[in-house]
Structure 1
Amino acid sequence: DTRSGGGRQESLLQSNATPVTLSLQPLSSLGSGRHPPPDAMCRLCFESEGGELIAPCDCSGTQKWVHRECLNQWRYHGQTSNMKAMSHCPTCAFRYELYCTFDISDQDRRERRRCKRLARDSCLVFIAV
């Protein structure tokens, strides 16, 4: 099952403060006929307006639809005690389709900074010894 679509990219900070971009691929944009009905509303903010409604997991009924932005905000900021909620739906346990992507210029910049720190630290160790 190949999943691709117009996934929105969100930046996170890992514990080592390296930015990582995760893209959540919504099931509703896969062309599988899963479009929200006119009366659908977001299961998190309870509104129908305010952005694209997606069906990111296997939930059904009133739990099926969620705004992409609401889900990302909830995943990143609202679930500090449940780290599995970052990658899985807490209701149906479906694993979200997440893809790591890197901006090449950011990756090059991080690599240069890492090399500079390594050279600096090596010089400090050499001087200290």
Structure 2
Amino acid sequence: MSDSSEQEIQYFEAKYLDPKFPIVKADPTVDDVIKSMRSGDYLFMSGAVAGTWGYGFLLGKPVRGPTAAMCASAGFTFGMFYTMQTVRSRLLGYRENAKEVKKWGLAPVQPRLYSIGDRRFPTRQSMLSTPPLNWDNYD
């Protein structure tokens, strides 16, 4: 009997995807993203709300309360969008995700890692420059 904690991982060809870390969820939903938020994400979101509320309170002289509340709602929207983008990129493997891998495990399908043959490829050149000469076959 095989160990149930091990999972079979299949690899697929992904020439245009380049996640630097393993994929946790290939298509994360909003529910997955909210469940995967770290304490730092909550701190960032509450800081954005508090900062924008203070900004609205300081600059909303005639009607401080409603201005502060409106700015806080804009800060909450910004904080949620930024945090959800960050958490989604962790689940997709574009940011460091060791905690998510430990919590959720790996996705059953991972992109195949390609070795880079030459980091200088392709060679960029302007329209006016001549291509480099191959001096071994130059006649």
What interval of TM-score do these two structures reach, taking the shorter chain for normalisation? under 0.3
Larger strand fraction of residues = 1
Q: For the pair shown, which has the larger CA radius of gyration, 1 or 2? A: 2
Q: Given the two structures, how large is their TM-score scaled by the length of structure 2?
A: 0.25
Q: Which has the higher contact order (CA 8 A, sep 6+)?
A: 2
Q: Given the two structures, how large is their TM-score scaled by the length of structure 1?
A: 0.26
